[in-house]
Structure 1
Amino acid sequence: MLEKIRLDNILFLDIETVPEHPNFNALDDETKQLYDLKTQYQRRDGETPEEFYERAGIWAEFGKIVCLSVGYFTFKGDIRHFRVTSFFGDEPKILKDFNNLITNHFNQPQHILCGHNAKEFDFPYMARRMIINGIPLPNKLNLFGKKPWEVPHLDTMELWKFGDYKSFTSLKLLTKILGIPSPKGDIDGSQVGHVYYVEKDIDRIVTYCEKDVVAVAQVLLRFRREDLLIEDEIIHV
């Protein structure tokens, strides 16, 4: 079934998120209390909400998107390319630009969104942040009333589970065991907030995010038993 999906009908994506504010003290008192309640079971014994605030980016209620990278295949005869581009900076603009992209180019029934652990994280996070920012939900993220088989989403982590609901496999581990060049560079997800707020190096975050998009595409190619992308086939636009 997976082999029957045309690769050029799939939009691969990844997002990078950070806490919505540079530090805990920037929150108003009510939001501080709500964050305390939200994270009470995630924090270690004795760890304060303020100390835990660097993790706030994983919740759409307390975080924001600073980079959204996408990639898609193009074919011209026997020539295959994978084009990668990113939206970054101001979150409302990121979401509006992404909305425009999928509304204008990936909005037909055959089009599918694909990411790693995206059904649990990327897709709902984007939808929630769109609602928070007053941006209309695109059809591909609006799941209300859809049956499971009507949801236009692929998740490489879910594909790897093969029905094993308790399994979590990171993209880094999956690329390692499948013989795919590691997508990770000089930072990991836990450091994105520091790079964004302290180092103010958005280019570094964009590079990190785009590597993940390429890695997800490579994983899907391995699932389909197709040749992996080589460097000359990857175009950054």
Structure 2
Amino acid sequence: MASSFLYNRMDCISKFKLGFLIVLGLSMGCKQEAHEPVRSQKKVWFKALHQSGDLVEYRHELTLYTDSTFVYDSKEKDHGHSKYEKFEGIAFIQNDTLHFSRNDMNGAGSKAVLKNGMLEFANGTNSFRLEVVENHTPLKSVINLRNHPDYALFTYYPSKKRDRNTPYDLSPAEFEKVRELIHCVFEEQKANLKSNQDYIKQLIPYRNKKGELEVRVNMFCNDKLDPNGFKYRTILMNDGGKCNVTFVVIFKSNYYVDFSVAGEA
């Protein structure tokens, strides 16, 4: 009887130990699965591109991610020479401005604002622009130029120390008004101009010393070798015949002045 009792007791203990080990193993497996780290994949938050050039090719691409990191790739290609650079850092948004942890990416500083589909770097001396191709940030453009691919809007920068004109940003309604007046120019200056679709238009709005709104309009023939170049920088041309046209739109008089073709009034 004693041996039978001892055997049953040992058998019970063995079963208890086995059950305890099974439960312990299951609980350890559950804990390991529950505490497995979840890796969040960063996504593209903002992307802008500068791609232009004929004799010298330029390609700058900025990618900003959801974890506030950014990558800035630049490439400049000349005859038989190429230069590649890559910049990485941190960026953040404050009001309407993007701030970057680096200021050596394109020679125009570490701050940029979003204007009319372009990201514009400016440090008071130089400016550099990239076209926005993807944007999930709170920053939005006032004027959407995607439906007007022959137009580009630029910030006014005083050319002289005593220049009393001040920069101004057009509203969508004011932009449409400028387009209407440009149409009038083509109607009245048919003998001096090609067709509207043959030109790209660069607009530079500002307020004069009296506070009146004016817009400098530069028009040039389409450049097949560098079709996007006009979006990134204002064009200066001394000649060009009908491919070099300038005038100023005056909002107060609802008309235009200083019309010239190839530098000749």
TM bucket, shorter chain: under 0.3
Which has the bigger relative contact order, CA under 8 A and spacing at least 6? Answer: 1
Give the number of the structure whose residues are more often strand, by fraction.
2
After TM superposition, the score normalised by the length of structure 1 is 0.24
Give the number of the structure whose residues are more often helix, by fraction.
1
After TM superposition, the score normalised by the length of structure 2 is 0.22
Larger radius of gyration: 2
